[in-house]
Structure 1
Amino acid sequence: MSNTVLDVKENSFVQHIADNADHDTCTFDGKGTFHAMAIIAAVTPGSKKTKCCVPRREVKDEAIRAAGKIPIIPHTIDESVLGKISYQHLNWERFQDNEKYFDQLWLVSWFLKQPRPGWHGSMQNAMMARNHPGKAEIVFLPIIDMPASNDTTINSTLKLIVCQAKKYGLTPKVTFDQQLWWKAMQIIENASLQCLYREMICKLGGVHTMGSFLACIGHLMDGSGLHELIDLIYAANTTPHILRGKAISRAIRAHIIVEYALHIVLHEEQLSNDSEKG
């Protein structure tokens, strides 16, 4: 059982992840479900561990409770804060994305080499020469024995992460799923300007971010023929879920295939026009 101490070095990057953990203690009737907030910390690069045998031992409840404890800080979200939340304008000129043209380069290679690696293989070839930061270490922090969606549970989680970041001189960073992220953002926005919560980077989980992005594409492209095009790839009953960002893996594959087809048409038309001019 891990406590709340992290093995953080000078060049370490620490990312906390918190999510609900539900366990059915009575599997036959489904009653008595245990709801809690589970928290882990990903430390990159992690400390090197030596292999050793884990002894079998009987652990008492007192030893588990003494291993680590998270203070519970009561909190009630002020719903009126929703009208105060504003999104800052992103200054794209300050952001240099050196990999933004990799997709275009891979799509153009369709005409240059056959067979060629798929998208994942191309990205691996492009990135494999870079220095790897090292294998991350996953540290399991104590579980909060309260429903994860409870305001007090989320507030106690934020407090733990902020205190750990302050202890190690790091910027607090945490990832939630969509429901918990929205409540956490309300708590952070409702905090005073001097509160350490204001320094926190609260991120939406990757799957939920991707789902929201895919749902935006489905909404914006409604009536464009994208629905009928995806019907040629998947069953018609699956397409609405794809366009709403629900079936993530199928949606990604469907959009990549559609992108293939569009770029083939565009490139063939461009090559045809160039040959006519020549």
Structure 2
Amino acid sequence: MSKRIVLIDADVYAYKAAAAMEVATDWGGGYWTWHCDATEVEKRVMSMVEETMDNLNGDEYRLCLTDNDKNWRLDVLPTYKGNRAATKKPLVLRHIKDWLIEEHDAIIRPRLEGDDILGIFATWDAIKGEKIIVSLDKDMKTIPGLYCRDALTNKPEVMEISEEEAAKWHLKQTLSGDTTDGYTGCPGIGVDTAAKIIESGTLKVPYEHTLKRGPRKGEVETRFKDDQTDDLWACVVSHYEAAGLTEEDALVQARVARILHRDDYDMKQKEPILWTP
């Protein structure tokens, strides 16, 4: 029987523990401070890891962390996660991440997000065993394999994502965007609409329409009608074009939405390979 390797989004565990342990103190006279016991945060993080391993019957774990200093997605979309710049981070978050690296062999790689490391490991044949990704981030549904959204429950749900489902989820994200991560997707298309478009293969087809009344009578304008196709990238592009954008705009969104698979990363150069349809 193969060993079960649990791939954990350690960014989430570190953040949750560090935020939960902060205490605001009122010293009087309008003077307040935050303080936090880093040792207690360390204990809380490892308690979460141990609980995850118990609930999933894991044999080994990998803790995956984001490089806070550089992010390859900013080269593709400079505004990526720009909406988080002013958000207060827990006091000891950086310390906890450093501690996880030094004391628990947490994995961090230059310019990669923790999600990318999870995706690479999950799709890397060199890592033998049954691999389960544990992450609150729904973007992990773009990775084929086993996925658990929340392992900190008595009966965590483990779902299996097929190659087809993962590819479709990526294109849905390309259309709907993710405001949390600061990429917008296609204007006017939300999560539910994106799912319908990809599941049905809805293609926007342009045609010329002559106005028959009103002050613009006689003018010709481009309109779009729905059709169906098996080419899902063509579906995505057609909706961007119907919104007045281009295939290049769609490609930018698709690339930042893509959680790296093993084939999306050059191990020798230590560089992402940008997704191409």
TM-score class, shorter:
under 0.3
Q: TM-score, normalised by structure 1?
A: 0.23
The structure with the larger Rg is 1
Higher relative contact order (CA 8 A, sep 6+): 1
Indicate the structure with greater strand content: 2
Indicate the structure with greater helix content: 1
